[in-house]
């Protein structure tokens, strides 16, 4: 076998057995690949009998070009093979990968010269030099030796060793270069030559694109700035470093997909229909929220469905919403000229939480659409618009006037909705009210002994002003002695004053509803005694004196006229002249006093004094609504000439009555007719001159309070209940101011109208004895409603306004427990005993601590320690103004709020029913049962037994552990 045949043979085997065929990494860029050439490579071989180009096939039978040399039978070999010119491109560092086989010299018999290496050279040039080849111009890169050479044996086994060697060259600076292979006597086949450089390939990282980058030859990294992919924008400038090995390192910064686009793979792609993306960032597109949609790709928000809206400040992720429905169940509680409106949330809030309420006030007249917006100083507490709670107090309305309040619900999208107002309306009629205070008083003229004043009518007269009361006194006398003047007009001259003296003065107006509140104290001084008349002033003084004489004469004439007028009007107000009072304890003029009809010799005279006789033809009876002691109680209508028809209740006296029964029946009208207050049942008149005898009163649609509350168990807000209680207290204050003691104040004797206004009723003289089914005979014989009556009234018939206050406390308990029977099924005797021993009713369920404390105050054993009705009204007013004070319930509060400043403290428990109380009394130690207070030193506690089911109330002084200051708030 000749040498060439041997090499071909070898080569054939080399390729067939080439198992390590390399897939080049993507960061290598070939400048030359001999395997890729199908035709002759055309490399220069020098001398021409040295390296020889041969065609062959690779393992895929693809033709390839190879070179071989094997001149081992001749000495001094120096065979060169030079490649074509290879342009460098941008590469600085070049890699040369050689694949070759080499014959083990020892395995060749009879060789003359044999080497097992060859040399690799290169030459840089700016251009292709064609066939010009000069050995000495080349620089040696390296001597290439085979890792493994093959032998004859290998041929037999067909195991051939393909060597792969890679060499680096650089940095290159010229435009191109040649490679040359120098054989000095080896038997070698060059299977492939690949020349390449490395680059960092195009890549996308953090949504930034980094272009193909060729590293420098030096060791330093190349910093590359990335550019954001389509539909994204730079958050932090994206950067990476390209290493000399063609690897990307240290990615910094990033890009974020634009709104409407999401990251999918390495791109930002548009959101699909039904999805949206409102913010840039690499989050996914979100599904359209409820009641919204989008049919487009790349949506940044979803549009709302028909009749649904989005407020400006709503985030795109929020469901579309719609305006709320109207508020529900509006209830009004009228107090004189103010009204508390209370309502429930709309059934549909439109899917939003920002519901607010606006209250529109309209003043109305009878007839269709006879309303106009309220004018003047109507006050809304806390305000009329933008209410977040479902209650508002409207104050300073006109007395006896019809109003309609429209309560509108709005939310954040109401303004975008079609103009349909969602509101609920309530119509009310205000009650009578006293005038407001005189605020503007002017001093017109002062002299040594007199002063002239004028003032402006109160801002809210609430009716026709009958007259003004002017009260004045010397400042230093401190109100112990004062003078009162009445004036029909808005000016007055105070005469008979001391010279050079300071006086204080207050004015208040009076209408049919009584006196309004007094003005602030106004201070003035009379002129000094030493005031002398100078000659220049004498003329002025003369005029003044003659005017004074004229005024005196006029006054005398007026006096005569007025005194005649007064006599004509039965001197009902004998105090209409100046009235000096000694010590201020006298009942002030203007406040009427109750007259007991029994003091009249002829009781029918009393009826006609206080009650209007009605013509039976003006009354129409509709139906029976209740049963009274003397006959049926009916509802009906009363139509008086030139007056509007009104609904009335008609009490009838049943046929066959005795004269005493008639007298007793009518005595109620005689009493009722003396009262004129919005919380006292109003008498319209009586029918005595025809039969049946009737008492006609205003009609109270909701009947008596106890039944009404039981029917509406737990349906009212605390504020509504307090509003009712305030009305009752106000009526009772009026009665006590009149000197009238009711004696049978109980929820069953309170009537409720359609506006939830509560009015005190049942004024019959015999009622406590006969009429009231609750009244029971006491040991002393009289009939008394035990559960409602103060101990001193039960024990020795001491009925006073203070005993009415005790009853009021029981009414308070009845109201807060929605008509529960006081002391449940305990017998009257047990009630008397328990109350006497200091036990009191426990707080009703959910009863505010403040109200329970008020009950306990009303049930003070010593009647002087009980609050007056005036105080009760003001306490309840404060609670209404400050509803948060009602939040703490008696069962949760560790201590009650002390409503009165000058009374002994008491404690409360947390029992709502007798069962609760009994249960805990059996099982718990005293200090646990009385939250937060230790009673361990109180011997009374020993009395706590299963039979007594009330709260024991002990004054602070008897319990040393009691610390009255702890947790007590003063309102």
Give the residue from 377, 382, 342, 383 showing the smallest Cα distance to 360.
383
Task: Show contacts with ligand AMP in window 402-421 (CB under 6 A).
Answer: none
Positions of E strands within 495-549: 502-511, 514-515, 522-525
Of the candidate residues 32, 180, 687, 751, the single one contacting ligand AMP (CB under 6 A): 751
Cβ at position 713, least distance to ligand AMP in Å: 18
Name which of 311 and 621 has its Cβ closer to ligand AMP. Answer: 621
Paired tokens of 706: 């106890």
Asked if 762 interacts with ligand AMP (CB under 6 A), we say yes
Asked if 621 interacts with ligand AMP (CB under 6 A), we say no
Scanning 27-35, 434-442, 693-701, 855-863 for contacts with ligand AMP by CB under 6 A, the matching segment is 693-701
Scanning 398-406, 424-432, 699-707, 961-969 for contacts with ligand AMP by CB under 6 A, the matching segment is 699-707
Q: End-to-end distance of the chain based on CA atoms, in angstroms?
A: 127
Asked if 700 interacts with ligand AMP (CB under 6 A), we say yes
Helices (H), 415-506: none
Residues near 422 by beta carbon (within 8 Å), at least 6 away in sequence = 323, 324, 325, 326, 346, 408, 409, 410, 414
- How large is the angle between the packed helices 718-737 and 869-881, nearest 10 degrees? 150
Of the candidate residues 699, 708, 734, 869, the single one contacting ligand AMP (CB under 6 A): 699
Asked if 633 interacts with ligand AMP (CB under 6 A), we say yes
Distance CA 886, CA 359 (A): 24
Of the candidate residues 273, 703, 782, 883, the single one contacting ligand AMP (CB under 6 A): 703
Name which of 246 and 785 has its Cβ closer to ligand AMP. Answer: 785
Cβ at position 766, least distance to ligand AMP in Å: 12
Q: From its phi and psi, is residue 191 left (phi > 0), alpha (psi between -120 and 50) or beta?
A: alpha
Cβ at position 744, least distance to ligand AMP in Å: 10
Asked if 704 interacts with ligand AMP (CB under 6 A), we say yes
Cβ at position 699, least distance to ligand AMP in Å: 5
Cβ at position 429, least distance to ligand AMP in Å: 16
Task: Show contacts with ligand AMP in window 109-138 (CB under 6 A).
Answer: none
Backbone angles phi, psi at 559, to 5 degrees: -55, -45
Backbone angles phi, psi at 69, to 5 degrees: -150, 145
Residue nearest to ligand AMP (CB): 626
Specify which residues 412 forms β-bridges with.
none
Q: Is the dihedral of CA 793, 796, 801, 803 positive or negative?
A: negative
Scanning 358-366, 620-628, 653-661, 815-823 for contacts with ligand AMP by CB under 6 A, the matching segment is 620-628
Distance CA 721, CA 75 (A): 129
The mark string for 74-93 relative to ligand AMP (x by CB under 6 A, - otherwise) is --------------------
Name which of 647 and 918 has its Cβ closer to ligand AMP. Answer: 647
Name which of 681 and 721 has its Cβ closer to ligand AMP. Answer: 681
Strand 423-429 versus strand 402-410 pairing type: antiparallel
Cβ at position 646, least distance to ligand AMP in Å: 12
Task: Show contacts with ligand AMP in window 635-674 (CB under 6 A).
Answer: 649
Cβ at position 703, least distance to ligand AMP in Å: 4
Cis-peptide, bond into residue 47, ω within 30° of zero: yes
Scanning 185-193, 274-282, 546-554, 622-630 for contacts with ligand AMP by CB under 6 A, the matching segment is 622-630
Q: 961 near 933, Cβ under 8 Å? A: yes
Cβ at position 611, least distance to ligand AMP in Å: 15
Distance CA 910, CA 336 (A): 35
Of the candidate residues 626, 915, 925, 932, the single one contacting ligand AMP (CB under 6 A): 626
Distance CA 88, CA 176 (A): 5
Backbone angles phi, psi at 383, to 5 degrees: -170, 170
Cβ at position 826, least distance to ligand AMP in Å: 24
Name which of 55 and 754 has its Cβ closer to ligand AMP. Answer: 754
- Buried-exposed string 427-461: b where 16+ CB fall within 10 A, e elsewhere: ebbbbbbbbbbbeebeeeebbeebbebbbeebebb
Asked if 819 interacts with ligand AMP (CB under 6 A), we say no
Scanning 337-345, 455-463, 596-604, 692-700 for contacts with ligand AMP by CB under 6 A, the matching segment is 692-700
Asked if 252 interacts with ligand AMP (CB under 6 A), we say no
Strand 451-455 versus strand 491-494 pairing type: antiparallel
Distance CA 689, CA 694 (A): 10
Of the candidate residues 71, 231, 761, 905, the single one contacting ligand AMP (CB under 6 A): 761
Instruction: Classify 61 as helix, strand or coil.
Output: coil
Cβ at position 905, least distance to ligand AMP in Å: 38
Residues near 785 by beta carbon (within 8 Å), at least 6 away in sequence = 744, 746, 768, 772, 774, 775, 776
Asked if 951 interacts with ligand AMP (CB under 6 A), we say no
Name which of 681 and 953 has its Cβ closer to ligand AMP. Answer: 681
Cβ at position 749, least distance to ligand AMP in Å: 7
Name which of 274 and 703 has its Cβ closer to ligand AMP. Answer: 703
Task: With CB under 6 A as the rule, give the number of residues binding ligand AMP.
Answer: 15
Q: Is the dihedral of CA 564, 565, 566, 568 positive or negative?
A: positive
Q: 413 near 393, Cβ under 8 Å? A: no
Name which of 123 and 649 has its Cβ closer to ligand AMP. Answer: 649
Residue owning tokens 């503007």? 440
Asked if 848 interacts with ligand AMP (CB under 6 A), we say no
Asked if 769 interacts with ligand AMP (CB under 6 A), we say no
Q: 397 near 378, Cβ under 8 Å? A: yes
Q: 406 near 360, Cβ under 8 Å? A: yes
Asked if 625 interacts with ligand AMP (CB under 6 A), we say yes
Cβ at position 745, least distance to ligand AMP in Å: 13
Scanning 120-128, 326-334, 698-706, 786-794 for contacts with ligand AMP by CB under 6 A, the matching segment is 698-706
Residue 72 CB neighbours (<10 A)? 20
Name which of 696 and 786 has its Cβ closer to ligand AMP. Answer: 696
Distance CA 894, CA 159 (A): 101
Instruction: Classify 732 as helix, strand or coil.
Output: helix
The catalytic residues are 744
Asked if 745 interacts with ligand AMP (CB under 6 A), we say no
Name which of 32 and 746 has its Cβ closer to ligand AMP. Answer: 746
Asked if 680 interacts with ligand AMP (CB under 6 A), we say no
H or E segment to which residue 72 belongs? none
Paired tokens of 157: 């086994």
Q: 664 near 764, Cβ under 8 Å? A: yes
Name which of 668 and 952 has its Cβ closer to ligand AMP. Answer: 668
Alpha-carbon separation of residue 118 from 13, 122, 192 (angstroms): 21, 14, 15
Scanning 375-383, 598-606, 626-634, 655-663 for contacts with ligand AMP by CB under 6 A, the matching segment is 626-634
Name which of 595 and 647 has its Cβ closer to ligand AMP. Answer: 647
Cβ at position 419, least distance to ligand AMP in Å: 42
Of the candidate residues 27, 697, 909, 910, the single one contacting ligand AMP (CB under 6 A): 697
Backbone angles phi, psi at 668, to 5 degrees: -60, -40
Q: 916 near 878, Cβ under 8 Å? A: no
Name which of 350 and 685 has its Cβ closer to ligand AMP. Answer: 685
Of the candidate residues 31, 330, 485, 681, the single one contacting ligand AMP (CB under 6 A): 681
Distance CA 353, CA 313 (A): 13
* List of residues contacting ligand AMP (CB under 6 A): 625-626, 628-629, 633, 649, 681, 697, 699-700, 703-704, 751, 761-762
């Amino acid at each position: 076998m000749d040498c060439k045949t041997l090499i071909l043979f070898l080569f054939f085997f080399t390729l067939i057995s080439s198992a390590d065929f390399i897939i080049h990494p993507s960061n290598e860029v070939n400048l030359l690949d001999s395997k890729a050439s199908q035709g002759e490579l055309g490399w220069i071989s020098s001398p021409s009998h040295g390296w020889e180009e041969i065609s062959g096939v690779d393992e895929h039978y693809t033709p390839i070009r190879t070179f071989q040399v094997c001149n081992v039978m001749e000495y001094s070999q120096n065979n060169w093979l030079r490649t074509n010119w290879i342009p460098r491109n941008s590469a600085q560092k070049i890699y040369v990968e050689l694949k070759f086989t080499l014959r083990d010299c020892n395995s060749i018999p009879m060789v003359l010269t044999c080497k097992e290496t060859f040399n690799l050279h290169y030459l840089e040039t700016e251009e292709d030099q064609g066939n010009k080849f000069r050995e000495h111009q080349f620089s040696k890169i390296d001597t290439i030796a085979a890792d493994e050479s093959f032998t004859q044996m290998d041929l037999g086994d067909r195991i051939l060793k393909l060597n792969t060697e890679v060499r680096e060259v650089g940095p290159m600076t010229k435009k191109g270069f040649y490679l040359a292979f120098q054989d000095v006597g080896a038997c070698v086949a060059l299977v492939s030559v690949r020349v390449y450089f490395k680059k960092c390939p195009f890549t996308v990282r953090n949504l930034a694109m980094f272009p193909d980058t060729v590293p420098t030859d030096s060791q330093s990294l190349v910093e590359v700035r990335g550019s954001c992919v389509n539909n994204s924008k730079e958050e932090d400038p994206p950067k990476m470093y390209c290493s000399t090995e063609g690897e990307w390192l240290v990615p910094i910064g990033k890009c974020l997909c634009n709104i409407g686009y999401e990251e999918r793979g390495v791109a930002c792609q548009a959101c699909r229909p039904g999805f949206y993306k409102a913010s840039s960032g690499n989050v996914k597109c979100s599904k359209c929220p409820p009641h919204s949609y989008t049919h487009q790709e790349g949506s940044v928000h979803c549009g709302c469905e028909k009749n649904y809206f989005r407020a400006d400040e709503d985030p795109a992720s929020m469901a579309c919403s719609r305006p709320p429905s109207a508020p529900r169940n509006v209830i009004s509680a009228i107090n004189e000229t103010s009204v508390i409106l209370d309502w429930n949330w709309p059934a549909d809030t439109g899917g939003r939480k920002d519901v607010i309420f606006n209250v529109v006030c309209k003043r109305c007249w009878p007839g269709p659409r006879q309303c106009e917006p309220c004018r003047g100083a109507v006050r809304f507490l806390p305000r009329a618009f933008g209410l977040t709670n479902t209650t508002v107090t409207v104050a300073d309305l006109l007395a006896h006037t019809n109003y309609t309040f429209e309560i509108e619900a709005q939310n954040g999208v109401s303004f975008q909705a079609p103009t349909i107002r969602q509101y609920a309306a309530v119509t009310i009629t205000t009650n009578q009210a006293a005038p407001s205070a005189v605020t503007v008083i002017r001093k017109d003229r002062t002299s040594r002994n007199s002063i002239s004043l004028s003032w402006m009518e109160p801002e809210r007269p609430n009716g026709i002003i009958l007259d003004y009361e002017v009260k004045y006194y010397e400042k230093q006398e401190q109100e112990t002695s004062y003078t009162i003047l009445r004036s029909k007009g808005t000016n007055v001259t105070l005469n008979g004053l001391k010279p050079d003296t300071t006086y204080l003065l207050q004015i208040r107006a009076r209408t049919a509803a009584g006196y309004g509140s007094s003005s602030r104290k106004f201070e003035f001084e009379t002129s000094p005694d030493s005031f002398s008349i100078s000659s220049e002033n004498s003329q002025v003084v003369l005029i003044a004196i003659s005017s004074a004489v004229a005024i005196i004469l006029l006054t005398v004439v007026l006096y005569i006229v007025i005194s005649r007028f007064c006599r004509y009007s039965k001197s009902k107000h004998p105090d209409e002249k100046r009235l000096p009072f000694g010590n201020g304890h006298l009942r002030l003029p203007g406040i009427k006093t109750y007259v007991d009809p029994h003091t009249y010799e002829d009781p029918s005279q009393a009826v006609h004094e206080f009650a209007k006789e009605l013509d039976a033809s003006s009354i129409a009876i509709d139906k029976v609504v209740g049963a009274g002691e003397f006959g049926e109680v009916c509802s009906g209508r009363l139509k008086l000439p030139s007056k509007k028809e009104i609904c009335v209740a008609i009490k009838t006296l049943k046929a066959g009555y005795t004269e005493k029964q008639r007298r007793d029946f009518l005595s109620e009208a005689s009493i009722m007719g003396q009262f004129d207050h919005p919380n006292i049942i109003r008498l319209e008149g009586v029918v005595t001159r025809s039969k049946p005898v009737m008492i006609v009163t205003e009609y109270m649609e909701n009947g008596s309070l106890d039944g009404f509350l039981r029917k509406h168990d737990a349906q009212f807000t605390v504020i509504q209940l307090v509003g009712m209680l305030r009305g009752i207290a106000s009526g009772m204050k009026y009665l006590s101011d009149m000197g009238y003691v009711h004696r049978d104040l109980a929820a069953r004797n309170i009537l409720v109208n359609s506006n939830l206004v509560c009015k005190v009723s049942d004024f019959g003289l015999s009622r406590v004895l006969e009429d009231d089914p609750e009244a029971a005979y006491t040991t002393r014989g009289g009939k008394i409603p035990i559960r409602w009556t103060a101990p001193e009234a039960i024990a020795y018939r001491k009925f006073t306004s203070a005993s009415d206050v005790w009853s009021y406390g029981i009414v308070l308990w009845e109201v807060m427990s929605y008509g529960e029977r006081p002391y449940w099924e305990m017998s009257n005797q047990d009630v008397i005993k328990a109350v006497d021993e200091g036990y009191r009713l426990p707080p009703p369920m959910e009863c505010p601590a403040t109200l329970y404390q008020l009950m306990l105050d009303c049930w003070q054993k010593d009647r002087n320690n009980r609050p007056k009705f005036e105080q009760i009204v003001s306490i309840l007013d404060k609670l209404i103004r400050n509803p948060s004070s009602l939040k703490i319930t008696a069962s949760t509060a560790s201590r009650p709020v002390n409503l009165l400043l000058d009374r002994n403290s008491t404690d409360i428990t947390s029992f709502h029913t007798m069962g609760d109380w009994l249960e805990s009394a059996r099982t718990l130690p005293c200090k646990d049962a009385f939250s937060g207070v230790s009673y361990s030193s109180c011997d009374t506690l020993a009395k706590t037994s299963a039979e007594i089911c009330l709260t024991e109330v002990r004054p602070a002084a008897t319990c040393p552990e009691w610390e009255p200051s702890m947790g007590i708030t003063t309102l």
